[in-house]
């Protein structure tokens, strides 16, 4: 059992409540992501789970055992950092063996486990290489092998892909997800990139200023954001004030750009909006379009590439939106 329970956990630096009374449960084998902007407390929470930072309040348990008072090396947790943290003066095998030597595992077993860990990250035969001979993606694989070799119950990742180029980030995130699922290990993954979070996670905890904004499956947060912050951080959206029948105060409503279409292509019962195209961005499969309503509000639309339509900036167009995709946010 390696489910993680985080109960009322806080960390305060001077006047900054870096992590402010967070309560979360991560299921065994789950790929769980902490998502939020820089400075929202993701790394601090991860470091408390790993044992690199004390708690100012709350408790953390893994598999029913309280761990927040244990030394880091006794927690059965592997951690992968953003900057790889690979030792430059050790070979690849030396790096991967490091945690086993520290745990006094006998040398013959070390050799076998290093080879096994390297093969898991597709670096079989790379043991004798020096770190400076490796690419960024290979270095990050070494860091993952080093975390896996201790056979931890839990694997923590702190923005592991942010030093890699865009294409490699996309392929590595798929590899990490596949490896995590094949090993059945419980993972907590930190990123500020909403697309990365959506692509790898079973569930996401969205954080804002040390607190939880919303916890849910990627599609839940994307389609039913609870707050304005969640709606805007999880992709692009249109936030508008709307009056609802029976309610005195206006409410905020989120409408995703892909819930809008050109009127010609929309069902007849979708509400229409007359507007003027402000700008267009052709991104290959989709085109993004900003359009201004008569009241001055800009609405954003995203539409699949439609060669039959030619629309230009300055042109008057009628858009329509799917009313079922309006979501009231707090
Ligand atoms: N050791 C520290 N001393 C003082 N302030 C810190 C320390 N570590 C983090 N902070 C502050 O705590 C907040 C959360 O930081 P962090 O957990 O690194 O956020 P994130 O990883 O989401 O970018 C920030 O305001 C940061 O400046
Ligand atoms: Mg961080």
Token reading at 15: 């006047």
Instruction: Check whether residue 87 and residue 218 sit in a common domain.
Output: yes
Say if residue 27 is in the same domain as residue 126: yes
Number of the ligand 1 atom closest to the C-alpha atom of 210: 14
Give the domain extent around 57.
4-232
Pocket lining for ligand 1, CB < 6 angstroms: 13, 16, 18, 36, 38-44
**End position of a domain, from candidates 188, 213, 232:** 232
Ligand 1 nearest atom to the CA of residue 207, by list position: 22
Q: What is the pTM (predicted TM-score) of this model? A: 0.93
Which of 10, 11, 13, 197 has most ligand 1 atoms within 8 Å of its beta carbon, as the pocket-test mutant? 13
In order along its 330 residues, the chain shows pLDDT tens digits of 679 999 999 999 999 999 999 999 999 999 999 999 999 999 999 999 999 999 999 999 999 999 999 999 899 999 999 887 889 999 999 999 998 998 899 999 999 999 999 999 999 999 999 999 999 999 999 999 999 999 899 999 999 999 888 988 999 999 999 999 999 999 999 999 999 999 999 999 999 999 999 999 999 999 999 999 999 999 999 998 888 778 788 899 999 999 999 999 999 999 999 999 999 999 999 999 999 999 899 999 999 988 877 899 999 999 999 999 999 999
Q: Do residue 9 and residue 35 come from a single domain?
A: yes
Q: Report the number of distinct structural domains present in the chain.
A: 2
> Which residue, by CA, sits nearest to atom 17 of ligand 1?
41
Domain match, 159 and 306 both = no
Q: Are residues 69 and 145 in the same domain?
A: yes
User: Coil, strand or helix: which one is 320?
Assistant: strand
Q: Ligand nearest 12 Cα, by number?
A: 1
Together in a domain, 17 and 39:
yes
Nearest CA to ligand 1 atom 18: 43
DSSP calls for 144-156? HHHHHTT--SEEE
Domain harbouring 169, CATH code:
3.40.50.300
The closest alpha carbon to 147, from 67, 62, 81, 91, belongs to 81
């Amino acid at each position: 059992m390696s489910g993680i329970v985080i109960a009322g956990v806080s960390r305060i630096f001077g006047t900054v409540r870096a992590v402010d009374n967070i309560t979360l449960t991560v299921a065994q084998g789950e790929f769980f992501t902490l998502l939020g902007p820089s400075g929202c407390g993701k790394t601090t929470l991860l470091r408390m789970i790993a044992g690199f930072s004390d708690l100012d309040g709350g408790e953390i348990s893994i598999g029913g055992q309280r761990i927040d008072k244990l030394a880091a090396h006794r927690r059965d947790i592997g951690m992968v950092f953003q900057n790889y943290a690979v030792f430059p003066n050790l070979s690849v095998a030396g790096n991967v063996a490091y945690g086993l030597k520290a745990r006094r595992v006998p040398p013959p077993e070390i050799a076998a486990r290093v080879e096994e860990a390297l093969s898991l990250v597709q670096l079989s035969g790379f043991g004798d290489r020096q770190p400076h001979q490796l690419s960024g993606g290979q270095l990050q694989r070494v860091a993952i092998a080093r975390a896996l070799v201790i056979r931890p119950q839990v694997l923590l990742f702190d923005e592991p892909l942010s030093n890699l180029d865009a294409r490699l980030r996309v392929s590595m995130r798929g590899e990490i997800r596949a490896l995590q699922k094949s090993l059945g290990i419980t993972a907590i993954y930190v990123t500020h990139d909403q697309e990365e979070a959506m692509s790898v996670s079973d569930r996401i905890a969205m954080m804002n200023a040390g607190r939880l904004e919303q916890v849910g499956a990627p599609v839940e947060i994307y389609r039913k954001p609870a707050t304005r912050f969640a709606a805007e951080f999880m992709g692009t959206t249109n936030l508008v004030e709307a009056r609802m029948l029976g309610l005195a105060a206006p409410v905020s409503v989120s409408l995703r750009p892909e819930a809008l279409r050109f009127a010609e292509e929309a069902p007849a019962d979708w509400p229409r909006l007359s507007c003027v195209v402000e700008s267009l961005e052709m991104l290959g499969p989709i085109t993004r379009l900003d359009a201004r309503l008569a009241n001055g509000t800009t609405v954003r639309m995203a539409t699949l590439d439609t060669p039959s339509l030619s629309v230009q900036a300055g042109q008057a167009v009628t858009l329509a939106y799917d009313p079922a995709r309006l979501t009231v946010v707090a």
